[in-house]
Amino acid sequence: MSVSDSTALPITIQSVTKTYGDMRALDNVSIRVERGEFLTLLGPSGSGKTTLLMVLAGFTRPDCGSLLFGDEEVIRKPPHLRNVGMVFQSYALFPHMSVAGNIGYPLKLRKVPRDETTQRVEQALTTVQLQGFGDRRIHELSGGQRQRVALARAIVFEPRILLMDEPLSALDKKLRDRMQIELRELHEKLGMTTVYVTHDQREALTMSDRIAVINHGAVMQLADPATLYNAPANHFVADFIGDSSIIGLTQENGQLMHAGNTVRHQSVMPDSTTVSMMVRPERIRVTNDPGPDENILDATVVNVVYQGDTYLLQTALADGTEVKVRGMVSGDTLKQLPRAGTQIKLAIKAEDTLLIAGDEAVRH
Ligand code: ADP
Ligand code: MG
């Protein structure tokens, strides 16, 4: 079972807005999902992810905007005519039906003949690695198996588009990690255009071709995982993806300064009156011997956290800004770690110093 390139469709979401009372659940959202792409909507709870997925599936009609599947405007099309497969957080399986009954249900709705249904259900079971489970009842299955049944039901009619809303959130961590890889492999095999929703940034980074970071119903940044991590467009994305410290800067005579020192950096000046620098904890070096193109910050160690293979230093700058430093634990590092209360110097290379727009440029 596979969706050929000609049947997987690109999705064009244009200026979609949806309000509930005076609350904007979606605020002028425009996203283009490429043919066969795995795109993730990532954002905190209440940011509008499910609302956008419901607009794609046809269960929610937005106030305004347009939605194209390929070249076709579908905004007025009812859900059952959109040919979209959907997996919900709760699986939404029918408890009184067998596994095969659940998976075959979309085919029954489409009046597919019984022989063909049997064959396609078998195929879908194989795809999700549940061969031989057709006669089981839903309550006889584990969480991960139920999740796969939901997935099989979503793909059995070979939809051109697959939508998934936090499908792994009910699973424990180990199973979730495995299913992330499985879903990704399945996507590569079937090739359908996929929009995936999660609030888990690590899951999004693991699975996605590209990620749209959503906050308050608006797209904060749309980029591939490496770009989001290494070049977040604003404070919100920097904060939401990965671990980072954000240090406020001042400007004097066109120079960026921190605590009396000129800041060395290699990024573009953000279009904002206030500018901060962002650093990842693993890019900071504790040293008395900084290199010529490094920024130096004086800090006080607040806390030392041993985390097995790595350590985390929580430090504070003179102005109170918290800066986290992460390093690998190896050989003598443990003995050499500074204690709480010690004054240390943090060195950050110019290339690891990322400028971002200051706080007031971003709505929280
Ligand atoms: P997410 O999936 O990112 O957690 P949702 O899309 O479910 O967020 O919700 C976005 C916002 O819209 C929330 O503030 C939510 O309370 C509100 N909302 C969603 N559906 C409705 C509805 N049917 N009626 C009123 N408010 C809604
Ligand atoms: Mg949701």
- Token readout for 35 is 């043919």
Residue with CA nearest ligand 1 atom 22? 20
The answer as to whether 5 is a domain residue is no
Ion ligand 2: residues, CB < 5 A: 50
Q: Does one domain contain both 208 and 292?
A: no
Q: Does one domain contain both 185 and 327?
A: no
DSSP string, 196-222: EEES-HHHHHHH-SEEEEEETTEEEEE
The answer to whether the Cα torsion of 270, 276, 281, 285 is positive or negative is positive
330 CA distance to ligand 2 centroid (A)? Answer: 41
Q: Does one domain contain both 189 and 313?
A: no
pLDDT band, residue 334 (cuts 50/70/90): low
pLDDT of residue 137: 94
3-state secondary structure of 76: coil
pLDDT in tens, 247-269: 999 988 888 999 989 999 988 88
pLDDT of residue 198: 97
Q: How far is CA 282 from CA 127, 174, 208, 305, 323, in A?
A: 40, 25, 23, 14, 11
Position 195, amino acid: V
Q: Identify whether the C-beta of residue 141 lies closer than 8 Å to the C-beta of residue 149.
A: yes
Residue with CA nearest ligand 1 atom 2? 50
Label residues 155-187 b or e (16+ Cβ within 10 Å = b): bbbbbbbbbbbbbbeebeeebbeebbebbbebb
pLDDT of residue 364: 36
From the CB of 43, is ligand 1 less than 6 Å away?
Answer: yes
From the CB of 198, is ligand 1 less than 6 Å away?
Answer: no
Chosen domain end from 192, 213, 235: 235
Task: Tell which atom from ligand 1 comes closest to the C-alpha of 166.
Answer: 2
From the CB of 20, is ligand 1 less than 6 Å away?
Answer: yes
Chosen domain end from 235, 265, 286: 235
Q: Does one domain contain both 260 and 156?
A: no
CATH of residue 267: 2.40.50.140
Chosen domain end from 235, 256, 286: 235
pLDDT band, residue 205 (cuts 50/70/90): very high
Q: Does one domain contain both 162 and 285?
A: no
List the one residue out of 40, 52, 56 whose CA is nearest residue 240. 40
Q: How big, in percent rounded to 5, are the helix, strand and coil portions of the chain?
A: 30, 35, 40
Domain that holds residue 111: 11-235
